Structure 1
Amino acid sequence: MDIGGRRIRATPAGPQTDRPLIVLECGAFGCAADWAVVQEKLAAKGLRSLAYDRAGLGYSDPGPEPRDGRAIAADLEALLAQLGEGGPVVYTGHSMAGLMARVFVPRNRERVLGVVLVDAVTPEMLDVRRAAAGIHAYRGAMKLVGAWSGVGFMRPVSLVIGDLIGLEGEARKEKRRVYGSAVHTRWAAEEVQNWPRTSGQGREAGRLPPELPVAVVTAGSAATQARLKALQVVPAELSQHGYVEHVSGANHANLLGKAFADPIVTGIEHVLTTVGR
């Protein structure tokens, strides 16, 4: 879809109904293919969904810098407008998309029915020393990856770790193809470098309103990485209609795969049931 001189790739799925649209936002270095299993499961339940490649990622054209939360939210708003999707949505974000949720939702509060956070981070994690250290270490590593993306080293890497989700068919091929792309790597690294900036924008917008249903689905049992999980579940705890599920056996990537994706769908259904949709 053309959003004003550049193209954003979108992958809608599910029947054309008047039910709310489930917007699926990938995490760092992700793409639309990450959500293939979840989209299939949602479609089987009669739910419409939309995954997409952010600017510079996957098959989308790069966008203007900085690639922070506000730029990403503006692109998603333009994409939804071009698709004629002006109705209610459930915003569902994986990993770093937890930051983007805090930017997009306040800007679109009138049409966001609820939020589902899938093993997601929050802006406030930068206030916790151990979490902040891990985030900054990741940013440092990704800065190097982005700087050297043009030499093509991601192609062989993609054969080994290109798909840790456990996708199948065309989605698996696409995930590996995208992961090995120098352009994708460069712009994904740029998003990660803007982590503090996007976090600041999310904090400036404020926490999610308490009346908004929020489902948090995390990878691993409740006892796994208890300190991290205590931070992840805060948005659900602050919601009047919060829902939390810790998925035993799952990890950060394969939580989106066939074996573990059902709780994500359950979280989405929690939001829809809460708002009577």
Structure 2
Amino acid sequence: MAYAVSGHGGAPTVVLETGLGAESAEWQPIQSALAAHCTVFRYDRLGRGASDRPSTVRHVGQLIDELHALLQATAMPPPYLIVGHSFGGLLARGFAQRYRDEMHGLVLVESMHTRQFAVFGNAFPAPSESDTPEQTRMRTFWAGEWRTPDATPERIDLPTSLDMYREIAPLGDLPVTVITAGSFANSPFFPTATRDALQAHWEDLQRELLPLSTQAHQIMTPASQHFVQRDDPDVVIKAVLAML
């Protein structure tokens, strides 16, 4: 598994966890900005970036074990402040539940919600000749391909992964920040007339993550699309520095 470490030591260790649609390298500007304040660790899960290809189908519980083993093997000490984007938010939440005593906090950036495919899977407009390849790929994935492990290079069993974390298991007073973007309001994949209603549904789902902790709060970044680390990296940096 490929990884990169920056910074000068000190607790906590900040762990950057990517989603399904990007490599860890896109976190480099945020990693560089945080390195003056703490140790920052990013890595490519099996099937992503420079890491090896996975030999089997895996669910999020196994990915959590792989991350924990990697942190130990690379001598990255707890406590951990995990920044998880999209699917990485689901993984970060599961890691915090399993290793609560090793956690400093969570920053969930546009975190995957266990009901998101049921809510938005049929929201895409019907196919047309003007569709871009990206529009076709997104529609196909959200409409049902997500259930197939080979739909992702990581061979993730998403149905099992979502079932594992449908319940919001409280994390006590662990600091949790939920960063919510204007993903649907700004999305090119949906008709303009439907975007506001879809955005309202997305914000409702994101608010459902707040009961994770008595110390949870939400930050809105309405001008950003789903990849906040690209569109508005400063909001992520500031959230991490506040939690530090």
Q: Same fold (TM over 0.5)?
A: yes
For residue 47 of structure 1, report the CA deviation from its aligned partner: 2.1
Could you tell me which residue of structure 2 aligns to residue 70 of structure 1? 61
Could you tell me which residue of structure 1 aligns to residue 94 of structure 2? 103
1:217 and 2:182 aligned: no
Q: How does 1:103-182 map to 2 (within 5 A)?
A: 103-125=94-116, 129-131=118-120, 133=122, 137-139=140-142, 140-141=144-145
Could you tell me which residue of structure 1 aligns to residue 233 of structure 2? 261
Rounded Cα–Cα distance in structure 1 between residues aligned with 2:115 and 2:148: 25
Could you tell me which residue of structure 2 aligns to residue 34 of structure 1? 26
Letter in 2 for 1:219: A
Tell me the matched-pair count. 217
Q: 1:221 to 1:187 in 2, by over 3 A?
A: closer
Q: 1:10 to 1:271 in 2, by over 3 A?
A: same
1:227 and 2:218 aligned: no
Structure 2, unmatched stretches of 5+, are 124-137, 186-195
Q: 1:222 to 1:271 in 2, by over 3 A?
A: farther
Alpha-carbon RMSD across the aligned residues, in angstroms, is: 2.8
Rounded Cα–Cα distance in structure 2 between residues aligned with 1:98 and 1:145: 19
Letter in 2 for 1:226: A
Rounded Cα–Cα distance in structure 2 between residues aligned with 1:144 and 1:232: 25
For residue 60 of structure 1, report the CA deviation from its aligned partner: 0.8
- Greater share of helix residues, 1 or 2? 1
Residues 73-122 of structure 1: CA deviation (Å, up to 9, x unaligned): 11101110111123200111001112212321122111111111101112
TM-score, normalised relative to structure 1: 0.69
Runs of 4+ aligned residues of structure 1 deviating over 4 Å after TM superposition are: 132-137, 141-147, 221-224
SS of structure 2 residue aligned to 1:123 = coil
For residue 38 of structure 1, report the CA deviation from its aligned partner: 1.3
Could you tell me which residue of structure 1 aligns to residue 153 of structure 2? 187
* Identity level (%): 29
Could you tell me which residue of structure 1 aligns to residue 3 of structure 2? 10
Structure 1, unmatched stretches of 5+, are 1-7, 148-185, 273-277
Which one of the candidate residues 220, 225, 240 is aligned to 1:251? 225
Letter in 1 for 2:173: E
Q: 1:75 to 1:131 in 2, by over 3 A?
A: same
Could you tell me which residue of structure 1 aligns to residue 190 of structure 2? none
Letter in 1 for 2:17: E
Q: 1:269 to 1:236 in 2, by over 3 A?
A: farther
Q: 1:265 to 1:236 in 2, by over 3 A?
A: farther
For residue 51 of structure 1, report the CA deviation from its aligned partner: 0.9
Could you tell me which residue of structure 2 aligns to residue 4 of structure 1? none
